[in-house]
Chain A
Amino acid sequence: MSAGPHYTLYHPRWYRRRVSVWWWLQKRSYAAFVTREITSVFVAFFAVVTLWQLRALVQGPEAYERFLARLQTPLFLTLNVVALVFVLFHAITWFNLTPKAMVVRVSGKRLPDGLIIGLNYAAWLVLSAAVAFVLLRAA
């Protein structure tokens, strides 16, 4: 054996198995995780629709009528239905995760997870009813 260290010309690359871009399809829980991440795209979509409606309101009655007509096209109707399904998935997973993200203590005792989740759904119900009431009264 030769004495002294032996240098290779190139630095060896560490062996790393390449992970497929589709890694999240291999397991149900991974797929659910990525679906949850993707809901954000539909959240942004509806924020943009709301901006668009607001712009129509600023521009005047004709622009508002055009906005309403656009939403009736099959393209936007489909997009809106798909977006609603994804945002519902976001809402449900979000509510169910709150006790993990936020531990609430009342006089030193931790509130049970079910109670926190229940309060979320109750708030959801009340707020949805309030929004629907205000919007339908304007209709």
Chain B
Amino acid sequence: MSTYILSVIFAAVVLLLAALISNAIKFEGGSNPKDSGKRKMCFWIFAILNPVIFYVVAAFAMAPSNRRDLEQWNDSLPIAVGVGFVVYIVLGFVLSKIFKNGKVGNWF
């Protein structure tokens, strides 16, 4: 259960980071502004980094030493990574729709 909770918390933190970076990208002028694309790219890069980093950290740094717990941990980790990915996308979509006129609105 803790794997899932950790995965959701990690997804939320990564999403917050993506939002902060997106907000730091300045509005550009002209007929071909690149800022919206940069924010979108930022969101999707973090969407990929979220499960990868979580998997690596969870598998190597957070894995329990107890063998029984480790097996259970290893069984639940891929599902937790998937949950984290879905949570990131869903939360990102919701945030983007809530702040549709803001910079995170460019995510979707």
Partners in one complex: no
Give residues in A with beta carbon < 8 Å to B: none
Give residues in B with beta carbon < 8 Å to A: none
